[in-house]
Structure 1
Amino acid sequence: MSQHILTMRPAIEADIPGILRMLADDELGKAREVVSDPVDPAYLAAFRAIAEDANQHLVVAEVDGRVVGTLQLSYLPGMSHRGSWRAQIEAVRVDSATRGIGLGKRMILWAVDEAKARGCRMVQLTSNASRRDAHRFYEGLGFEASHVGFKKVL
Structure 2
Amino acid sequence: MTPSLTDEPRTIQAVLDRSALHSFARGHIHVGELLIDVADDDAFMGIPTVALLEAYAETRGNQHATALLRLLVTLPGIAVIDLDAETAEAVAHEVEAAEGDLARSHAVWAAKEHEAWYLTTEPTEVTELLPPGQVHVIPRKDA
Query: Structure 2 length as normaliser, TM-score?
Result: 0.36
**Larger strand proportion of the pair:** 1
Larger radius of gyration: 1
Query: Structure 1 length as normaliser, TM-score?
Result: 0.35
Which gives a bigger RCO, structure 1 or 2 (Cα 8 Å, sep 6+)? 2
